[in-house]
Amino acid sequence: MKIGICAKVTADTDARLSPSADGGSFEFSGKSVVGPYDMFAVEEAVQTKEKHGGDTVVFTVGAESDVLSQLRGSVLALGVDKAVIVEDPALANADALGVARALAKAIEAEGVDLVFCGKQAIDDDNVQVPAMIAGLLGWAQVSRVTAFAVDGTSFTATRAMDGGIKQVVSGNLPVLITAERGLNTPRYAKLPAIMKAKKKPTERRDLAALGLSAEAVAPKVSTSAYGSPPERPSGKIIEGDTDTVVAELVRLLREEAKVL
């Protein structure tokens, strides 16, 4: 079995974001990490390999200079065998479909038949790329998975749907799975593994190597007018003893906010 992981290096959750004065762009300060949901995907791939054998390969679209150290430290050091980094000037402004197209081609070229993704990237919060990859490849997909097992060429996955409903679904490989929190507990990298990860192969591919043209990944989504969240009018602290504040809160909710 050949197992793939799609992992994106993004700004960490506590990064500071500052939109430019004209809203045309923004800057972030803080560290970069492999997305937290992608870490569940990495762990699941490694556990699947430990149970059934096979090769694991992580795919990312990004600049090698930005992503390599995170991929080594957070993905290869946890037991993934190899990294494929797709980098091309035409992908610099790619939208989700452009990224998905590049990843789908890279996945196809590696002959992978099981792919784990994070349920979402924590920068763009798009929740688009994995389903697009599955659509482009014509594969089965199961999103927000909290339990997964593979047996020969068939799989079973439990997905967390809306309303607290969970469903167990089954099907045959190839399949693309997106990881929800709770799927597993990601391990920590140990020093020897970190050292070993430095020697693991990383391969860089451009669009031509994947048989894609720049037009094929041209963005259709444009993002502009970056700004901070809308300010809410500063809140009201309700003063008084407990009985008074409770009565006043109920009055405000009914008469001022009109939500009761």
Partner 1 sequence: MSGILVLAEHDGGAFKKSATELIGKASELAAALGTQVSAAVVGDAPAASLGAAGAGKVYQVQGDHSSYDAAAMASAWKAIVDAASPDVILASASYVGKDALPRLVALLNTGMGSEVTELRAEGGAVIGRRPLYAGKLYADVQISSSPAVFSVRPNSFPQPGAGSGEAEVVTVSAGAQALTTVVETLQPTSTTADLTEAERIVSGGRALKSAENFDNVIRPLAAAVGATVGASRAAVDAGYASHSEQVGQTGKTVNPTLYIAAGISGAIQHLAGMRTSKVIVAINKDPEAPIFEHATYGIVDDLFEVCPRLTKAFEEL
* Residues of span 199-238 touching ligand FAD by CB under 6 A: none
Q: Which residues contact 178 (CB under 8 A, 6 or more apart)?
A: 37, 41, 116, 117, 118, 119, 120, 130, 141, 142, 143, 144, 145
Total number of residues binding ligand AMP (CB under 6 A)?
24
Q: Is 161 in the site for partner 1 (CB under 8 A)?
A: yes
Most distant CA atoms of the chain, gap in Å: 71
Binding mask 79-108 for ligand AMP (x = CB under 6 A): -----------------x--x---x-----
Q: Is 13 in the site for ligand FAD (CB under 6 A)?
A: yes
Smallest gap from Cβ 43 to ligand AMP, in A, equals 13
Smallest gap from Cβ 249 to ligand AMP, in A, equals 38
Contacts with ligand AMP in 120-149 (CB under 6 A)?
120-121, 124, 126-130
CB 6 within 8 A of CB 41: yes
Quick one: which of 118, 134, 139, 197 contacts ligand AMP (CB under 6 A)? 118
DSSP bridge pairs for 85: 60, 204
Residue 254 DSSP one-character state: I
Nearer to ligand AMP, 204 or 254 (CB): 204
Q: Is 33 in the site for ligand AMP (CB under 6 A)?
A: no
Q: b vs e for 145-179, b when ≥16 Cβ sit within 10 Å of the residue's Cβ?
A: bbbbebeeeebebbbbeeeeeeeeeeeeebbbbbb
Q: Is 214 in the site for partner 1 (CB under 8 A)?
A: no
Token look-up 């290869």 returns 76
Q: Work out whether the CA dihedral 245, 251, 257, 260 comes out positive or negative.
A: positive
One-letter amino acid for residue 8 of the chain = K
Q: Is 217 in the site for ligand AMP (CB under 6 A)?
A: no
Quick one: which of 3, 4, 6, 36 contacts ligand FAD (CB under 6 A)? 36
Q: Is 7 in the site for ligand AMP (CB under 6 A)?
A: yes
CB 86 within 8 A of CB 210: yes
Binding site for ligand FAD (CB under 6 A): 13, 36
Binding site for ligand AMP (CB under 6 A): 6-8, 35, 37-38, 41, 59-62, 96, 99, 103, 117-118, 120-121, 124, 126-130
